[in-house]
Amino acid sequence: MLLPWSKVRDWFCFACGECCRWFFVSLRPDEAIRISSAYGRDKIEIVHGRPILRRIGDSCVFLYGNLCLLGDEKPIACKLWPIVFTREGGADSYFNGYYIYFDERCPGVKRGRPSDRLYMTIMEAIHLKEGQKIKQNYTTARVGPNLLLPAVASSTLGLTEEMSSLQNLEFPSYSSSRSKIYTRNMKR
Ligand code: SF4
């Protein structure tokens, strides 16, 4: 299911929107505060003490058709998937100080010898992860401009004590899918 980057020829996001339906998206405290403040406290939920993006029906609240309304403001978990950083891994997953895999559940992952574009994609993912970059050129679909809609911020309630306390939370390293919180933004 997790393929070392060295066995991936390329990856393209086709904007199928499936990952926005499959997973509960865990947020970093600063992301929870930012999204809550900008779009409303009702856009996030606290589950087992951790903030996640609210879901409506079978998908993320920010999924519009197959597109993300947050654009460049989406959480780092969303920006990185299906690229997975692990604490340990095989030599075939090592890249510039990281162990990097691709989750083959994403239909855009293609096996083979790494292409030049794949290297660009991985470098961008590292820069996103390290906070050196916000905009995505390779690690998302090129489907148009930021589709941020004011309507999303329909019920901005401002920060609450609960949200302020999120800044002090520490997050464990674990992963799961579908029925649990999927921690795409955390080291495994
Ligand atoms: S924030 Fe955007 S990319 Fe992330 S799950 Fe929601 S719709 Fe998908």
Residue nearest to atom 1 of ligand 1 (CA): 74
The 3-state DSSP class for residue 94 equals strand
Q: What is the pLDDT of residue 140?
A: 86
State the average pLDDT over residues 10-36. Answer: 95
Domain count, the chain: 1
Average pLDDT of the chain? 82
Query: Is residue 73 very low, low, confident or very high in pLDDT (cuts 50, 70, 90)?
Result: very high
Query: Which residue range forms the structural domain that includes residue 130?
Result: 2-165
pTM comes to: 0.77
The CB density around residue 176, as the number of other CB atoms within 10 Å, is 12
Phi, psi for residue 18 in degrees, rounded to 5: -65, -40
Asked if the structure places residue 57 within a domain, the reply is: yes
Asked if the structure places residue 187 within a domain, the reply is: no
- Taking CA atoms, 23 is separated from 40, 61, 163, in Å, by 21, 12, 22
Distance 77 CA to ligand 1 centre (A): 9
Asked if the structure places residue 46 within a domain, the reply is: yes
Residue 180 has pLDDT above 90, yes or no: no
Asked if the structure places residue 182 within a domain, the reply is: no
Distance 75 CA to ligand 1 centre (A): 8
125-164 pLDDT, tens per residue? 999 999 999 999 999 876 544 444 443 433 333 334 444 4
Asked if the structure places residue 177 within a domain, the reply is: no
Distance 154 CA to ligand 1 centre (A): 18
Residue of 27, 45, 53 to mutate, ligand 1, most atoms within 8 A of C-beta: 53
Q: What is the pLDDT of residue 143?
A: 57
Asked if the structure places residue 80 within a domain, the reply is: yes
Asked if the structure places residue 142 within a domain, the reply is: yes
Asked if the structure places residue 35 within a domain, the reply is: yes
The CB density around residue 19, as the number of other CB atoms within 10 Å, is 23
